[in-house]
């Protein structure tokens, strides 16, 4: 297990403290459970399976690929 530090909004902290009182779990356990749930939901999205699937061999990706991805995927608008 790794130690880390996070900053929470005051309202988030108060809600977590309420959950600590209601469940008897530690604040750390609740945060870990929330992160695990988030990561499991992310894994369900089929688009995440293609991350890193395509890699340039010789030519690097264009600098504007993120902003102009439709142009590169579907061609110029007519």
Residue 32 has pLDDT above 80, yes or no: yes
Taking only the tens place, the pLDDT of each residue in 53-76 is 776 667 777 788 888 888 888 887
Assign 19 a pLDDT band (cuts: 50, 70, 90): very high
Q: What is the pLDDT of residue 72?
A: 80
Residue in the block written with tokens 């309202």? 11
Residues 6+ apart with CB under 8 A from 48: 42
Alpha carbons 50 and 54: distance in angstroms, whole number: 8
Q: What is the pLDDT of residue 69?
A: 82
Q: What is the pLDDT of residue 30?
A: 96
Alpha carbons 45 and 43: distance in angstroms, whole number: 5
Q: What is the pLDDT of residue 61?
A: 76
Based on its alpha-carbon atoms, the radius of gyration of the chain, rounded to whole angstroms, reads 21
């Amino acid at each position: 297990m790794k130690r880390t530090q996070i900053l929470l909004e005051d309202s988030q902290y108060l809600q977590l403290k309420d959950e600590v009182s209601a469940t008897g779990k530690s604040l750390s356990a609740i945060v870990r459970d929330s992160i695990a749930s988030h990561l499991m939901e992310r894994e369900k999205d089929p688009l995440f399976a293609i991350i890193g699937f395509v890699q340039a061999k010789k030519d690097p990706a264009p600098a504007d690929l993120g902003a102009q991805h439709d142009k590169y995927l579907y061609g110029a608008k007519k």
